[in-house]
A and B are shown apart, each in its own frame.
Chain A
């Protein structure tokens, strides 16, 4: 149980375009999902907390207009990287907590490369 999926697993896009990444909890409902970014050989850095039915909470230094988050249902959150630049190239990982639970389960990650 507690499986989280992400789509796509990898994506290459041109500079200036937008990319959408989906995060789904497959066998549980999640009122809260989290989006992380991980650069090579570094730890996970939280970007934002996504709450179903309300606005996301962004960490300091993360541009909310560039990284659009939508949590439209209890099983789906999306992250859209708008006007992507090469410095946005990274490994993006989402996590989800079962409603009422405290443990976070992570998706397999999405490798974004902006050319």
Chain B
């Protein structure tokens, strides 16, 4: 199936550093979602974006919905040990009746914090 391209594939940073990752698609989505997955767990929703150009924050996390509707980025400021995990973007094409449409996931970005 289709997957969205995420970069970087992995990141090795020190605690306190800022993190930036992005997600691109060849097709348009009208919803972008960012999830974090810990080992052996299901993904947890971090941020949802519904409008092109939208910039949304959730604590130390900030995400933006690209103006072309084909990309999104996620920033994490002042990283802490619990930020370690795999971050996935997901695109969705919602119908006008806001039906429960399927998600297309990105390839993932693995974040590791170096002691």
Q: Which residues of A contact B (CB under 8 A)?
A: 4, 6, 30-32, 34, 42-46, 49, 59-61, 91, 93, 95, 97, 100-109, 111
In the complex, what residues of A have CB within 8 A of residue B105's CB?
A: 43-46
Cβ contacts B20-40/A at 8 Å (1 or 0 each): 000000000001010100001
Q: How many residues of B contact A (CB 8 A)?
A: 27
- Given known contacts A60-B1, A93-B42, A109-B41, is B100 in contact with A101 (CB within 8 Å)? yes
Inter-subunit contact B45/A105 (CB<8 Å): yes
Query: What are 16 A-B interface contacts by the 8 Å CB criterion?
Result: A4-B42, A32-B100, A43-B3, A43-B105, A43-B106, A43-B108, A46-B1, A61-B1, A102-B48, A102-B50, A102-B92, A102-B94, A104-B33, A106-B43, A109-B41, A111-B40
Query: Which residues of B are at the interface with A, using a C-beta cutoff of 8 A?
Result: 1, 3, 31, 33, 35, 40-45, 48, 50, 88, 92, 94, 98-108
